[in-house]
Amino acid sequence: MKRFTAKIVDMIKEENLYASQGGPVILSQIENEYGNIDSAYGAAGKSYIKWAATMATSLDTGVPWVMCQQADAPDPIINTCNGFYCDQFTPNSNTKPKMWTENWSGWFLPFGGAVPYRPVEDLAFAVARFFQRGGTFQNYYMYHGGTNFDRTSGGPFIATSYDYDAPIDEYGIIRQPKWGHLKEVHKAIKLCEEALIATDPTITSLGPNLEAAVYKTGSVCAAFLANVDTKSDVTVNFSGNSYHLPAWSVSILPDCKNVVLNTAKINSASAISSFTTESLKEDIGSSEASSTGWSWISEPVGISKADSFPQTGLLEQINTTADKSDYLWYSLSIDYKGDAGSQTVLHIESLGHALHAFINGKLAGSQTGNSGKYKFTVDIPVTLVAGKNTIDLLSLTVGLQNYGAFFDTWGAGITGPVILKGLANGNTLDLSYQKWTYQVGLKGEDLGLSSGSSGQWNSQSTFPKNQPLIWYKTTFAAPSGSDPVAIDFTGMGKGEAWVNGQSIGRYWPTYVASDAGCTDSCNYRGPYSASKCRRNCGKPSQTLYHVPRSWLKPSGNILVLFEEKGGDPTQISFVTKQTESLCAHVSDSHPPPVDLWNSDTESGRKVGPVLSLTCPHDNQVISSIKFASYGTPLGTCGNFYHGRCSSNKALSIVQKACIGSSSCSVGVSSETFGNPCRGVAKSLAVEATCA
């Protein structure tokens, strides 16, 4: 570990990247969240942390070192917070800054799980609360979603998509309103900068679940007003003025008087994205392609490589494969003296993560663990023949454990027992301690079939659909345009895919999330957890798999699949991602956009709330207004509808202001639209399209 850490530090120093050298690197981190598990190691864990701290600081980076989630981080290491909320966090010394190294913008998706998301109102609340209570540094995890290409997923059953509901999504598209609202939050905090860096906050209670924090020194003053109640909006009195605070929100007052932003009131537009399906455009003329456009090679069942080896007993998988492959074959031949066609049961116990069992070359059954429990036990009915029978068990991993006390000992694979049950006279046969033959990986992996350029690809015989252990290949033209691209793997079972030799990751569209745990909408009020806000229950966890445009050529692209369970590749299609609609919903009680802060003082005119729309691409203009209502509109983006009160001028006014422009702004007030219902709080809701 010391050699590795020193190597990384030396590489950074050689490029003059540390801030102490004039570069951009302002912090170094040693260890990560070890404090969550170090108690399991007792005194050795404490000694290790002291050693790691001493080792790191001895490397003389010229910038501070941090340890995340390490309450006893030795001086001068700064202990920091990771989590959904860090406002209550306190560093272990008053000489250390309060730092939030991982603000979790969402959560990861497991295969077999529903899709988690985190409402931006809650995320903005968490950010504002952190700075309200003396925070100095905050970092998002994740700010840009990603993709676990190849076999890089960081933990068992983590899906290939690592979108994380981040402000910028897996495809590089800004996720609205999350990105825009957080941008406004940070602009608002920036307006308080002079006060924030000059002094510590004075925190007082304004009532139950109500809190004010004031940063004041001389003539400089900034304040944060928080309502941490999960249900009730309130009006509070602060410094002689009244302020309306929605539940679970923070208002930011850069001058201790005027609200520039409330975390629950979103000025930013939201966007609805959609995927447009395109058929797989096969390149014509490939000599290998069949009438389906696909060629194929069957992966042999069981032992097929020269580097296989015998071993008595059942081996743990990770130490056997050294992660060279997801796959490990366990193969055994037995002599069955019973009647041909006799039904027995093959009992298998595995540490995970999944397996396929073959009897005499035929798939007899499969089983998988899940993200909460990797281990499993399965009883597979099998039919044996008289005499020699071959049992081939293909065990596979779906990402490796990378965190937890003693996680290196958790293991994977079939460690047994493996027992044949239901033999003659009710006997059983324990196969666990017999001499098994092992093969690390697949023959097709050794042959480099993933590149598509090697091997004897077949296109002449009957095209194999819904059969296990098949390599498939086709050539295709890239979807036109510049929109992000994904492959829809509906119709396939489980496996891995490569585009032009680059692995786009494991696919598993047949792993369906539970029907329970999702809601039509998620109440942002109250503490967030990974299971609070989820969508896509009862559906496959992931059907769309990102293919970077940079990996594609206009034509002549090669797509290779390895299918484990059985599927139909002719059902595969490409999709491209577009922004379908822009929406905004702004009330007459919203603060003006942060960029208009103090503009009323400069212009002499009172500035009110504004609804703004901007097309996502520079070459686009607003082409239509699908909905506009000023009054009491209801619903959400894509499903707005008129309430009991609605101005009959709204649509024409918004159309005139917006159509033909790349962006537009409309004041949200009765001065603009007339007053359709006096004495009622009103808002403006708009849905537009760009082209």
Task: Name residue 498's amino acid.
Answer: W
For residue 464, give the 3-state DSSP assignment: coil
Asked if 605 and 671 count as a contact pair (C-beta separation under 8 A), the reply is: no
102 flagged as catalytic: yes
14, 15, 31, 33: which is the annotated catalytic residue? Answer: 33
- The pairing of beta strand 78-83 with beta strand 99-104: parallel
Task: Name residue 493's amino acid.
Answer: G
What lies within 8 Å, CB to CB, of 89 at 6+ separation is 81, 98, 100
- β-strand partners of 328: 395, 440
What lies within 8 Å, CB to CB, of 378 at 6+ separation is 347, 348, 350, 355, 365, 367
- Report the distance separating Cα 40 and Cα 691, nearest Å: 58
Asked if 420 and 428 count as a contact pair (C-beta separation under 8 A), the reply is: yes
Which tokens sit at 328?
Answer: 């490990």
Cis check for the bond before 177: say yes or no (omega within 30 of 0). Answer: yes
DSSP string covering 144-212: B-EE--TT--SSTTB-SEE-TT-SB-TTS-B-TTHHHHHHHHHHHHHHTHHHHTTSPPEEEEEETTEEE
15 flagged as catalytic: no
DSSP string covering 357-395: EEETTEEEEEEE-BTTB--EEEEEEEEEPSEEEEEEEEE
DSSP secondary-structure letter at 218? T
14, 15, 31, 102: which is the annotated catalytic residue? Answer: 102
Range list of H helices, 524-610 = 599-603
Asked if 81 and 69 count as a contact pair (C-beta separation under 8 A), the reply is: yes
CA 282, chain centre distance (Å): 31
Asked if 105 and 167 count as a contact pair (C-beta separation under 8 A), the reply is: yes
> Among 355, 337, 332, 361, which residue's Cα sits nearest to residue 432?
332
DSSP secondary-structure letter at 240? T
- Report the distance separating Cα 439 and Cα 462, nearest Å: 29
Helix pair angle (2-14, 43-57), 10° resolution: 20
- β-strand partners of 238: 241
Q: Which residues are catalytic?
A: 33, 102
